[in-house]
Amino acid sequence: MPQVTIQKAQNHLVQLIQKALAGEEVVIVKGKVSLVKLVAVRNGNSERQIGADKGLVKIADDFDAPLDDFKEYMV
């Protein structure tokens, strides 16, 4: 994620917008302090991508193993 100063952002705004539209996030800083993140706005009409969230959810190998607290209810 590139960081640019306010001055550079003013001078290269069109190029920074093009980067944001291409999916890159640009952070505008003042000194060492991050002030603004420039990102593209996604409209709600975009097509869904199958598998876009792959790898975000992890299920433990023993997720369906019997729980000790419920032994008395199991037949």
Give pLDDT, residue 45.
Answer: 67
**Residue 14 half-sphere exposure, CB side, CA atoms within 13 Å?**
0
**Is 5 within the bounds of a domain?**
yes
Range of the domain at 4: 1-40
Give pLDDT, residue 44.
Answer: 66
The pTM for the full model equals 0.54
CATH assignment at residue 21: 3.40.1620
Answer for the pair 27, 4: CB distance below 8 angstroms, yes or no.
Answer: yes
**Is 55 within the bounds of a domain?**
no
Give pLDDT, residue 13.
Answer: 95
Q: What are phi and psi of 14, to 5 degrees?
A: -60, -45
Question: How does residue 1 score in pLDDT terms, banded at 50, 70 and 90?
Answer: confident
Residue-wise pLDDT tens digits, 14-70: 999 999 999 899 999 999 899 999 999 877 666 778 988 899 999 999 998 888 888
